[in-house]
Structure 1
Amino acid sequence: MAKFGLVGKNISYSFSKTFFTIKFDLEKLNHTYVNFDIKNINQLQNILKDNTEIKGLNVTIPYKEDVIPYLDRIDKEAKKIGAVNTIKILNDGRLAGYNTDHYGFAKALTSFPLFKEKTALVLGSGGASKAIIYVLKAMNFDFKVVSRTPKEGQLSYKALTPEVINKYKLIINTTPLGTHPNVTECPNIPYNLITPSHFLYDLIYNPTETEFLKRGFAKGATVSNGMKMLEYQAKKSWKIWNL
């Protein structure tokens, strides 16, 4: 019997535990998957000390960047991205970090029709956005990051003019705004400028239809939540844990 789990903060909304519990049941695997809801990433060491049977962990908001100093080695793609969402506990106890978010997002995105215009806005500049940026670069998208505290080359939400919204057709929410139970929240973009030529993608999957997606759908845009991305990245994590 082995134990796996999710490390994050305020993660009662997560479907990862449900996904893996069902998987273990269907495949008759005597494993467990546990949510480790912690207030600070330095509690990771206590988790591992108290749960010696842990073989792998997923990492979610807000610790995808903060967890890196606690790892003994990092996969080259995770290093390029600058964020980790999967940890494998090696046989000698060392911690290896990986990023499967970029794989999940790329696979989910390619299931949609080809984009006529490869332009995108990435809402948010945290750890979740880094994997999205990695994929957009690889797919040769012209994109901009939108942040409440923009760095050089990024946009503020106030800078989302009609010209900007008209140019960038794929809009990806990587922020936690709208996650259960705060379902009335959404990124502060000018939804009145959204058109049927836009595609709104939300990394959030609980609720299945966020306020961000509802407002996009009301304007005729193509919309998608992050459930497929979750499934793809989870399956990739499982492969890594079993290498």
Structure 2
Amino acid sequence: MRKFGLIGKKLGHSFSKKFFTEKFAKEDITDAQYELYELAEIDALKELLAQEPELMGLNVTVPYKEQVIPLLNELDEAAASVGAVNTIRISNGRTKGYNTDYIGFKESLEEFYPLEERIKALVLGTGGAAKAVWAALKALDISFTCVSRSPAENELSYETLTAELLQDYNLIVNTTPLGMLPNVDTAPPLPYHALTAKHYLYDLVYNPEETLFLKKGVEVGAKTVNGLPMLYRQAIAAWDIWNSSEQANALP
């Protein structure tokens, strides 16, 4: 039996197990199973691999997308450029890290944010998920600015986001967990009254399907999308990696 799974700290919100279990059933894949592996700390990965020798692939979620890198034998070029890993291929006892978040976000954003509408983007958050977003925006030649609670050089704080400034950015991408179940009454601290029908709001959160962040956009006629299109694409890309001899996943 081939084993695959997801590692993270808290996995109650996970989409992956349902997605892959349904995929296996639908496609009559009877020699594979997908499990959830909650790890109290990333160093527990070594013990997991020793206990589960049938593991052929893992997905990685918060907070381990960056922490896992030093524990891997090899890193794909795209994952190295992004600086975060969300997919691990295990072969002959060796581990190689990839980033399919980059693929999923880039492909879904191209569909959601029309070429003729592209101006500038605000990226809320600076964690592992944000790094894949940055790489995709760079690949699509979309100028962006990061927003953080503790801004570094050339980043903005939430306190500096004014109604006037929001008019310069028509794409806002939330990479933070704000609004995710069970904390559905939370949202990034923005001047929401300044949003217009010309804005595009992309929330990487997918549970609930409409976060408070997106609801506030819908109220003014903004275009909105949640993280499900990205999730489906990154999951399919991960499956392709696990089932191929080698996956070409270089950044453009």
Normalised-by-shorter TM-score class: over 0.9
Partner in structure 2 of residue 214 of structure 1: 215
Paired amino acid for 1:4 = F
Partners of 1:147 and 1:157 within 8 A in 2: yes
TM-aligned CA deviation for residue 115 of structure 1: 4.4
Deviates more, 1:31-40 or 1:79-88: 31-40
Is residue 2:193 matched to residue 1:192?
Answer: yes
State the Cα distance separating 1:43 from its structure 2 match: 1.0
> What's the counterpart of residue 78 of structure 2?
77
Q: Deviations over 1:60-92 (max 9, x none)?
A: 11110000010011001100000000000012x
Residue 65 (structure 1) aligns with: 66
Could you say what secondary structure the match of 1:175 adopts? coil
Contact 2:125 2:147 in 1 (8 A): yes
Backbone CA RMSD of aligned residues? 1.0
Structure 1 unaligned residues grouped into runs of 5+: none
Report if the CA contact (8 A) 1:118-1:140 is conserved: no
Which structure 2 residue ranges, 5 or more long, are not aligned? 245-252
Once residues 188 and 62 of structure 1 are traced to their aligned partners in structure 2, the CA distance between those partners, rounded to angstroms, is 22
Match of 1:183 in 2: 184
The corresponding residue for 2:241 is: 240
Task: State whether residues 65 and 127 of structure 1, in contact with CA within 8 Å, keep that contact through their aligned partners in structure 2.
Answer: yes
Instruction: Map Cα deviations across residues 133-176 of structure 1 (whole Å, 9 max, x no partner).
Output: 00111111111000001111111001111232000110000011
Q: Over residues 84-126 of structure 1, what are the superposed CA-to-partner deviations in whole Å (9 max), with x where a residue is unaligned?
A: 00000012x0110000011101111111233423310000000
Q: Aligned to 2:206, what secondary structure does the other structure show?
A: coil
- The one-letter amino acid paired with 1:8 is G
* Contact preservation (8 Å) 1:88, 1:97: yes
2:104 match: 104
Q: Write the mapping of 1:1-243 to structure 2, written as runs, cut at 5 A.
A: 1-30=1-30, 31-91=32-92, 93-112=93-112, 113-243=114-244
- Residues in 2 aligned to 1:143 and 1:115: alpha-carbon distance in whole angstroms: 16
Q: Is the 8 A contact 2:203 2:226 kept in 1?
A: yes
TM-score, scaled relative to structure 1: 0.97
Q: Is the 8 A contact 2:8 2:37 kept in 1?
A: yes
Give the Cα separation in 1 of the matches to 2:3 and 2:233. Answer: 20
- In structure 2, the CA distance between the partners of 1:115 and 1:171, relative to structure 1 (3 Å rule), is farther
Give the secondary-structure state (helix, strand or coil) at the position aligned to 1:167: coil
Segment drifting more, 29-38 vs 124-133: 29-38
Give the 3-state SS of the residue equivalent to 2:111 in structure 1. Answer: coil
Work out whether residues 119 and 168 of structure 1, in 8 Å CA contact, stay in contact via their aligned partners in 2. yes
- Specify the SS of the correspondent of 2:115: coil
Opposite residue 108 of structure 1, the aligned amino acid is S
Farther off after superposition, 96-105 or 38-47: 38-47
CA 1:130–1:115: 2 relative to 1, 3 Å: farther
Distance 1:239 1:17 in 2: 16
2:120/2:143 contact within 8 Å kept = yes
Count of equivalent residues = 242
Contact 2:163 2:193 in 1 (8 A): no
Distance 1:42 1:117 in 2: 42
